[in-house]
Chain A
Amino acid sequence: MKPAPFEYHAPGSVEAAVGLLAELGDGAKVIAGGQSLVPVLAMRLAVFDHLIDIRRIGALRGIEERGDCVWIGAGTTEAEIGRSKLIARRVPLLSRATALIGHFQIRNRGTIGGSLAHADPAAEYPAVALALDATIEAHSPRGQRSIAAADFFTGIWTTALESDELLTGVCFPSATGKQGFAIEEFARRSGDFAVAGAAVAVWIDPGGHLSRSAIGLFGLGQTAVRAAAAESAVAGLSVSDVNPAEIGRAAVADLGSVPSDLHGTADYRKKVGAAMVARAWERAVKEAVSG
């Protein structure tokens, strides 16, 4: 369980980090908290000649209100996000998701940028980013670009980032108006990756009709996915006319590549996923109605 040898770099700026990425190519990997990468290296599931540590880049840490969004630097730890009053107020779904990630020792090191870039299909943050239509910010020697969460997760542990791009931050739209948020997951043990989970956001108009809803599923495919068909099927309906169990079933109905493994068959995962959607939906609606 010892990683293969590698060259270590700890650049002091984003420019220096992307310069290294461009120079070193596919042999280089960015390390932030290392809570997913170090086990991968220890088990030699992947071997890199170079690790580029972003810990000295101060510009990658922080939580700021920027217009109608909250910007979070890629190197911000999950523990910092969990403690942030600004995020609890403006992006409550992210706060609630954070408590479900690993254990507190993991959250002390793990970062939001790391979680998004690692793109584990069973992780919480990618599903929350999808459900809230977050925007991911990346830097390369060619400059900066923004990537919609919907376009970011391209496959298992695979993202739209180019090999010379560094994920530098993520923007979450702030909560306003009558909204409700909830996340539910089922895991064998506290802190394990979920067998299946759902992050739900609902927006209702003054008349009690659903103006918008978002369902982000995790543990149920090659990437976190939105249950787009289920969302559009209930658009405009009165919240009291939506049966949580039915939208749960609808959310998992069209899933194509549900994993099957020791922890559960694809069929079982879909049933668990439907139950998680139903529970999260019920809580999100309750919050929106009372808020």
Chain B
Amino acid sequence: MADVSIEVTVNGQPRRATVEPRLTLADFLRERCQLTGTHLGCEHGVCGACTVLLDGQAVRGCLVFAVQADGSEITTVEGIAAADGTLSPVQQAFREHHGLQCGFCTPGFVTSVTAFLRDNPSPTDEEIREGLSGNLCRCTGYQGILAAVGAAAHTMNTGTSNAGTSNAASINEGAR
């Protein structure tokens, strides 16, 4: 089976590689780019841990072959923070509102929520729940994650963090 040459941009860095067609984008990022922040849980599109941004759109890294991403720009969780390491509003909110415990699912949540809030900057609580439904977390029970998304939306809309308020209050902030 013939390998295929691809050119992609990963977190702003151009990359050229020759890949087996069956290599998934998630495996390409982890094994060929050494970007192991993209996690693989189920490898068949259910858990969302491998979510990355492909030309800005959140997609399952395990359901795209690397050859299909030829010519595209990819952002992984490693590319979400600023170059100096300052956390993005979404990352900061996850940290402040207990949006993670073991952290395995977190890369997928951070990339998904980053795209979700870009497209819907002032989501209702119901829209946040729907937006999170494509990512599974086995630790938190989701309450901290819901609070984090509401808080991140608030920060991005007002430029101020509402850290320190209760989870419920911050969900309501996000729902406004």
Chain A residues at the B interface, C-beta cutoff of 8 Å: 1-8, 10, 31, 34-35, 38-39, 41-43, 51, 53, 55, 79, 102-106, 108-109, 189-191
Distance, CA A102 to CA B128, complexed state (A): 15
Q: How far is the CB of A120 from chain B (nearest CB, A)?
A: 14
Q: How far is the CB of B124 from chain A (nearest CB, A)?
A: 15
Distance, CA A38 to CA B45, complexed state (A): 9
Distance, CA A38 to CA B65, complexed state (A): 8
Contact of B62 among A4, A38, A102 (CB under 8 A): A38
Q: How far is the CB of B59 from chain A (nearest CB, A)?
A: 5
Q: Given A2-B22, A6-B21, A34-B65, are A104 and B131 also a contact pair (CB < 8 Å)?
A: yes
Near A by CB (< 8 A), chain B positions 57-87 give 57-60, 62-65, 67-68, 70
Distance, CA A3 to CA B44, complexed state (A): 11
B37-56 to A contact mask, C-beta < 8 Å, 1/0: 00000111100100100100
Q: How far is the CB of B108 from chain A (nearest CB, A)?
A: 9
Chain B residues at the A interface, C-beta cutoff of 8 Å: 1-2, 4, 20-22, 24, 27, 42-45, 48, 51, 54, 57-60, 62-65, 67-68, 70, 112, 116, 129-131, 133-134
Distance, CA A198 to CA B52, complexed state (A): 33
Q: How far is the CB of B19 from chain A (nearest CB, A)?
A: 9
Distance, CA A104 to CA B56, complexed state (A): 13
Contact of A42 among B62, B68, B116, B129 (CB under 8 A): B62
Contact of B68 among A4, A55, A108 (CB under 8 A): A55
Nearest first, the 10 closest Cβ-Cβ pairs linking A and B are: A103-B134, A8-B21, A1-B43, A39-B44, A190-B133, A108-B57, A5-B1, A38-B63, A3-B22, A105-B58
Q: Given A35-B45, A38-B45, are A105 and B67 also a contact pair (CB < 8 Å)?
A: no
User: For B24, B70, B112, B129, which residue has the most chain A Cβ atoms within 10 angstroms?
Assistant: B24
